[in-house]
Structure 1
Amino acid sequence: MPWLSKARVESYDILRVFIDSNNSVNVICKDAFVQMNMQGYHLEAVKTALFGFGGHVVYLEGEIVLPLTLGSQDLKKTVMTSFTVVDSPSSYNIILGKPTMNELRDVASTYHQKIKFSVGARVGEVRGDQPSSRKCYVEAVRVDQSKTRREGEKESKGISPLISEHQLNIPPGSHPVKQKKRHFGPEKDKVLKSTGKWKMCVDFRDLNKACPKDH
């Protein structure tokens, strides 16, 4: 999809705008949002995480509804747009996703680097910026590679509790149980596994009693 030369959000002209019809949300970068100095606007809290962005999980700062204007002069269109504010290094300032594209009823062309949309009985359009598009693409690849290297250098174990968390269903009042070491007996002690290693048995009966099934 094309990179637009600019779009107007509220009373600000925003450069580096990316059209992504596969994206399920409209995104505005936190750095751009801070520079807009949107005093008087309140971010609605968002508890979910956003997946994508080079396969990474991005945690959200919040959501905000702002007027978005595309086009120029008398061939422009304004729609109220819900933006998700994300704090993540990027080469864009905003991404316009499927919700806004449906609202505009636009037709996008990667080849012609432009989008067209109806303005009453007429047709408005916004052209892409090819030099900025190439520059942003190179920067996006660089940022993604750098982030991948950083994540590869640090130890990454398990899943963030913000995504999924497991807990043992233990009734209140349960206490840790320490069992004494048991032996199989002289005859069974002589029996080895087929691999030649010793057998070991762990008794989980007390643990199972303290963890009733939760269907």
Structure 2
Amino acid sequence: MEGTSLIQFKRTEKSGSKTHHNDALVITALLGNYEVGRIFIDFGSSTDILFWEAYDQMQLGDIPLEKVNTSLYGFTGEIIHPRGMISLFLMLGTHSP
């Protein structure tokens, strides 16, 4: 996967963290046969979100979205209505240049 960069955290950025082994992770992976960079994995999250711009760039129009009858609530209380739901194949592993 070309163009990947090293992700580093300073000790000061970790100070004050009270959770153990539940930290967020940022990865690059193949998702639906499309290389997606900066996938934010948060094990404490209750939902997985693929932003519409990413969905559009992946050209998944031949895979229909399933309808959902739910709303999501943002940190500031805003209500978000998902356009739909999709299940995609996710491939993880090692990569040799």
TM-score with structure 2 setting the length = 0.65
- Provide closer, same or farther for how the CA distance between residues 59 and 38 of structure 1 changes in structure 2, counting only shifts above 3 A: same
CA RMSD of aligned residues (A): 1.6
Deviation track 1:114-156 (CA, whole Å, cap 9, x = no partner) reads: xxxxxxxxxxxxxxxxxxxxxxxxxxxxxxxxxxxxxxxxxxx
- Provide closer, same or farther for how the CA distance between residues 18 and 37 of structure 1 changes in structure 2, counting only shifts above 3 A: same
- Provide closer, same or farther for how the CA distance between residues 43 and 28 of structure 1 changes in structure 2, counting only shifts above 3 A: same
The aligned runs of 1:35-184 (5 Å cut-off) are 35-73=57-95
Q: Relative to total residues, which structure has the larger strand share, 1 or 2?
A: 1
Q: What is the CA-CA distance between 1:57 and the residue it aligns to?
A: 2.0
Hey, what's the Cα distance between the residues in 2 that align with 1:22 and 1:67? Answer: 22
Is 2:26 the partner of 1:3? yes
Structure 2 unpaired stretches of 5+? 1-23
Q: What is the CA-CA distance between 1:52 and the residue it aligns to?
A: 3.2
- Provide closer, same or farther for how the CA distance between residues 47 and 40 of structure 1 changes in structure 2, counting only shifts above 3 A: same
Which of 35, 51, 63 is equivalent to 1:29? 51
Q: Relative to total residues, which structure has the larger helix share, 1 or 2?
A: 1
Hey, what's the Cα distance between the residues in 2 that align with 1:40 and 1:14? Answer: 19
Hey, what's the Cα distance between the residues in 1 that align with 2:83 and 2:45? Answer: 18
Q: What is the CA-CA distance between 1:61 and the residue it aligns to?
A: 0.5
- Provide closer, same or farther for how the CA distance between residues 56 and 22 of structure 1 changes in structure 2, counting only shifts above 3 A: farther
Q: What is the CA-CA distance between 1:43 and the residue it aligns to?
A: 0.3
Runs of 4+ in 1 over 3 A off after TM superposition: 52-55
Structure 1 unpaired stretches of 5+? 74-215
- Provide closer, same or farther for how the CA distance between residues 55 and 7 of structure 1 changes in structure 2, counting only shifts above 3 A: farther
